[in-house]
Structure 1
Amino acid sequence: MILRAAALGLSLMSAGAAMAQPTYQLLQFDDLAGWAEDDHQAALEVFLNTCGDMRSADWKGLCDVARQGQEARGFFERFFTPVLIDDGQDALFTGYFEPELRGSLTRGGPYQYPLYRLPSNPGQYSRREIEETGAYANQGLEIAWIDDPVDVFFLQVQGSGRVRLDTGGWLRVGYGGANGREYSSVGLALVDRGIYQPHQVSADVIRNWVRSNGEEGRKLLWANESFVFFREVNEVPADQGPLGAMNRSVTTMRTVAVDPAYVPLGAPVWIEKQGADPLNRLMVAQDTGSAIKGSQRADIFFGTGDRAGRDAGRIKDGGRMVVLMPLQAAYALLPDVIE
């Protein structure tokens, strides 16, 4: 999945911001707010979905132990150490979701806006050239036709989604590639034009403005030259989440996207999210995103559909994220550890 944090329309960190050398602090489980009250079994089941794909011997060994059947809370407390990784940036939690769109396998009626497979020359055209001139039309690249061009745009922002077909049933699509053009925030474009203040911009605000402004709204989307192509991923059952960066289904409110430069994919992470709806929960780092940068940057998967989208779009909170590391790996961080 890609660019999810950009669904809010605003850059969350300067691309050129210098990243401090990270420091590591070993914590105790008693230091984790709400640890004892969480559903550790639910987190263990999510951990088991992807731990077999982790390459390190430390992680593979713990995965084997977990598969033998463990009391969940005891498993995490016996074999892991909580590690707080600090790179000098403030913690930031956002949310992402899997959109649902209305579509058809054939063009007709309201279904006029295609989802394209990856062509052989993906970098040749900008978004405007693809959408205005039909650069890839009638080449057999159309996966499905959607009834709303704004939904198509935001599907590209999220990177994956489900299409409810007019004939019944579902079609699931995932990220298949991009045209290589630089992503530009349409939310920032609205701010630059003086239409909104930064704190006013959200995914819903962008949607409503584009839909209410006809051709000018369409041109706003063209300001983002980046264009995403898709692939069918119907091997994933409809009752499971979309595929994450580990090529396994992500789990609602138990999967978090992280920066793998700091957090190993597949690692359990303890979330202490502040804000209007505080959340203390053990999750698993099973996904990434191009806007997810830093040791304290995380994107929480809220599920599928409009309600999940609304809930995810409201999240922009501080707090802290603590990585549960295998004991040996945690102490190998010495002497860089603060105790």
Structure 2
Amino acid sequence: MTSRCMRLVFLLAACFLATGCPRPWTPATRPEEALREPSRLMELRDDGEPEALKTAIAESLTWLNTRSADERFVFGPRTVTARELRAALEHLRSRITDGLTSAELTTRILEVFEPLEAAGGEDGLVLFTGYYEPSIEASLTRTEEYATPIYGAPKDLIEVPLEPFAERFKAERVFGRLDGRRLVPYWSRGEIRGGKLSGQGLELAWAKDPVALFFVEVQGSGTLRLPDGTERRIGYASSNGRPYRSIGSLLIQEGAIPREAMSMQALRAWLAANPRQCNRVLDFNESYVFFRFLESSAVGSLGRPVTTGRSIATDAKLFPRGALAFLQTERPVRQPDGTVAWRPLSRFVLNQDTGGAIKGAGRVDVFWGRGPDAELAAGMMKQKGRLLFFVPRRTVAR
């Protein structure tokens, strides 16, 4: 065995062999509980392109450069500053070179970082889903064919970060509007569809299919295909602050779609077959997303572009934003005969986004980019797996 391989084995053993008796895994409700010592051995084999990882790290670094150097990032039992996290990521990025093997990448990461494992859900595992950048037909002017408005953020929408009131409300915020001197909830999806925002000049464009626009909201960004053949990208600008409610869960409860058959593809097929039910079902999710035009690819909650297969969305109240992580699960792949097979997915990723449905230590959304393969992964992924976060080693931080 070469000295490099021996060193890799030593690092893996030192990082992942649990000490003492394993503790019961209970759902985490605070950042200090969200990450723990790894419960058992886990192979860190990266199946992605190193250059894409380097790109994702660069986006986290760009965001970290806008933060106060002393801002604290909670990694479960550990806390590091933005300065320390930035230094560790910069060091790692400088060591990702052309031709780097998976084993070499793992070794270089473990020289700088040490792993902690996400507490997961009640079973200690994480549920992985996917999201992507859909493409829909739209027009910049309203016509009989293009009649569903795509709204920008309203001027009367008020966003209130709660962290300044108490640190326990970190990453939490409420949205509303003024009714006299009172802040009240903003209009629901049904109220907005009914015309509450009409006549304010908020329309960025007009969609051909309201169901297609709904799924752009769920994904958080998308591409508008205009009648002249050009494209415009849109991304999240704000929301009405109403809680996200899954229309998939509604249709499962009503017996319309069996739980085991539920997917984004199944949802769209059911809505297409039941057009008279569309408004009722879509309005069940009172959450509504407002958009803005983008000059680049899809943008995450850090305000930076997300990287295909290398960016994830987690609960911002529990996990450190911009941090390096590692996931181990499965992804769907379409076979030449049209069937779908499931293949292992294991890679280093960056925590660069969040979402209304991504709540708790047991939920992660993986960004898959654009195109049919991305739509397949986003629509079908609902696989269990494990998630690690990497905190700068104390020696590196010092």
Tell me the TM-score normalised to structure 2 length.
0.69
* Structure 1 residue corresponding to 2:353, chosen from 273, 277, 287: 287
Contact 1:52–1:63, Cα closer than 8 Å, also in 2 = no
Give the aligned residue type for 1:25.
E
Structure 2 Cα separation of the partners of residues 268 and 278 of structure 1: 20
Contact 1:19–1:87, Cα closer than 8 Å, also in 2 = no
Contact 1:101–1:163, Cα closer than 8 Å, also in 2 = yes
Q: List alignment gaps of at least 5 residues for structure 2.
A: 1-26, 68-81, 158-184, 332-341
**Cα 1:321–1:232, aligned 2, differ >3 Å: closer, same or farther?**
same
Contact 1:95–1:313, Cα closer than 8 Å, also in 2 = yes
Give the aligned residue type for 2:249.
L
> SS state of the match for residue 146, structure 2?
coil
For residues 181-330 of structure 1, the aligned pairs below 5 Å read 181-234=242-295, 236=296, 241-274=297-330, 276-328=342-394
Aligned to 1:13: none
Cα distance, 1:27 vs. partner? 8.9
**Cα 1:295–1:328, aligned 2, differ >3 Å: closer, same or farther?**
farther
Range with bigger deviation, 107-116 or 181-190:
181-190
Contact 2:139–2:146, Cα closer than 8 Å, also in 1 = yes
Using CA pairs under 8 Å that are at least 6 residues apart, name the structure with larger relative contact order, 1 or 2. Answer: 1
Cα distance, 1:314 vs. partner? 1.1
Tell me the TM-score normalised to structure 1 length.
0.80
Cα distance, 1:88 vs. partner? 5.4
* Structure 1 residue corresponding to 2:36, chosen from 21, 24, 45: 24
Give the aligned residue type for 1:53.
W
Aligned to 2:339: none
Structure 1 Cα separation of the partners of residues 138 and 366 of structure 2: 27
Structure 1 Cα separation of the partners of residues 120 and 255 of structure 2: 34
Contact 2:28–2:361, Cα closer than 8 Å, also in 1 = no
- Does residue 49 of the first structure (1) align with residue 59 of the second (2)? yes
**Cα 1:105–1:69, aligned 2, differ >3 Å: closer, same or farther?**
same
**Cα 1:18–1:65, aligned 2, differ >3 Å: closer, same or farther?**
closer
**Cα 1:33–1:156, aligned 2, differ >3 Å: closer, same or farther?**
same
Q: How many residues align?
A: 308
**Cα 1:131–1:295, aligned 2, differ >3 Å: closer, same or farther?**
closer
**Cα 1:38–1:188, aligned 2, differ >3 Å: closer, same or farther?**
closer
Counting aligned pairs with the same residue, the percent is: 33
Structure 2 Cα separation of the partners of residues 197 and 32 of structure 1: 34
**Cα 1:22–1:137, aligned 2, differ >3 Å: closer, same or farther?**
closer
**Cα 1:124–1:81, aligned 2, differ >3 Å: closer, same or farther?**
closer
Contact 1:48–1:66, Cα closer than 8 Å, also in 2 = no
* Structure 2 residue corresponding to 1:174, chosen from 204, 212, 235: 235
Structure 2 Cα separation of the partners of residues 170 and 127 of structure 1: 26
- Does residue 62 of the first structure (1) align with residue 88 of the second (2)? yes
Structure 2 Cα separation of the partners of residues 22 and 59 of structure 1: 18
Contact 2:92–2:108, Cα closer than 8 Å, also in 1 = yes
> SS state of the match for residue 43, structure 2?
coil
Structure 1 Cα separation of the partners of residues 208 and 200 of structure 2: 20
**Cα 1:225–1:83, aligned 2, differ >3 Å: closer, same or farther?**
closer
Contact 1:210–1:218, Cα closer than 8 Å, also in 2 = no
**Cα 1:186–1:40, aligned 2, differ >3 Å: closer, same or farther?**
same
- Does residue 149 of the first structure (1) align with residue 149 of the second (2)? no
* Structure 2 residue corresponding to 1:118, chosen from 153, 157, 181: 153
Aligned to 1:81: 114
Contact 1:252–1:303, Cα closer than 8 Å, also in 2 = yes
Aligned to 1:102: 137
Contact 1:272–1:319, Cα closer than 8 Å, also in 2 = yes
Give the aligned residue type for 2:301.
A
Q: List alignment gaps of at least 5 residues for structure 1.
A: 1-16, 333-339
Q: In terms of Rg, which structure is larger?
A: 2
> SS state of the match for residue 37, structure 2?
strand
Cα distance, 1:106 vs. partner? 0.7
> SS state of the match for residue 171, structure 1?
strand
Contact 2:133–2:221, Cα closer than 8 Å, also in 1 = yes
**Cα 1:67–1:37, aligned 2, differ >3 Å: closer, same or farther?**
closer
**Cα 1:303–1:37, aligned 2, differ >3 Å: closer, same or farther?**
closer
Structure 2 Cα separation of the partners of residues 39 and 179 of structure 1: 37
Contact 2:88–2:396, Cα closer than 8 Å, also in 1 = no
